[in-house]
Amino acid sequence: MIKEFLKKFRKKSPWLLHYNAGSCNGCDIEILACLAPKYDLERLGVKNTGNPKQSDIFLVTGPVTKRSRERLIELYSQIPEPKVVVACGSCTSTGGVFRGMYNVEDGIDRYIPVDVYVGGCAPHPEQIIDGVAKALGILEQKTKEIEYPKKLMGEITEFEGQTDKTKMAGKI
């Protein structure tokens, strides 16, 4: 019963972690516009924490450059469950205009499981808010089971109840 009671509050105070995986800053500016006076996501309890250990929603922009993928996985595995991932923008969802280029990976879903894709280059603030709202619905359904990133360079193993990250990034 207590569990059911606590579950209700997940969508009332979602804290955001915004990560730029090599984006052109277009999406980042739109995300900031969501937090600014006109749209004011804070009225829904959303707070931009910038700290993975205290976040619920992982908002990623950019087509994952090769340098940023280690950090992407590192940040993802530092967020305690329940957590949701929102891919914000065309690049993040599919690679966008950069798809197939030598220096990018096509979208974040090669590395981490994504819950909501928000299209557009750059997406409107309304679209981002809609995506976040959809993600909140998913967040409420999630369990506290550990979620793993997809395979990167080495095998993903478990060590003392936590994901062992030493082999994950491998050598780049």
Binding site for other proteins (CB under 8 A): 3, 5-10, 12-15, 37, 40, 42-45, 49-51, 53-54, 56, 80-82, 144, 146, 162
Would you say 100 or 161 has its CB closer to other proteins?
A: 161
Would you say 91 or 136 has its CB closer to other proteins?
A: 136
| Smallest distance, other proteins to C-beta of residue 58, A | 14
| Smallest distance, other proteins to C-beta of residue 22, A | 21
| Smallest distance, other proteins to C-beta of residue 98, A | 28
| Smallest distance, other proteins to C-beta of residue 120, A | 24
Would you say 7 or 110 has its CB closer to other proteins?
A: 7
Would you say 14 or 22 has its CB closer to other proteins?
A: 14
Residue 101, token pair as written in the block? 């280029």
| Smallest distance, other proteins to C-beta of residue 164, A | 14
Would you say 145 or 172 has its CB closer to other proteins?
A: 145
φ/ψ bin of 25: left (φ > 0), alpha (ψ from -120 to 50), beta (otherwise):
left
SS (H, E, C) the chain: CHHHHHHCCCCCCCEEEEEECCCCCHHHHHHHHHHCCCCCHHHHCCEECCCHHHCCEEEEECCCECCHHHHHHHHHHHCCCCCEEEEECHHHHHCHHHCCCCCECCCHHHCCCCCEEECCCCCCHHHHHHHHHHHHHHHHHCCCCCCCCCCCCCCCEEECCEEECCCCCCCC
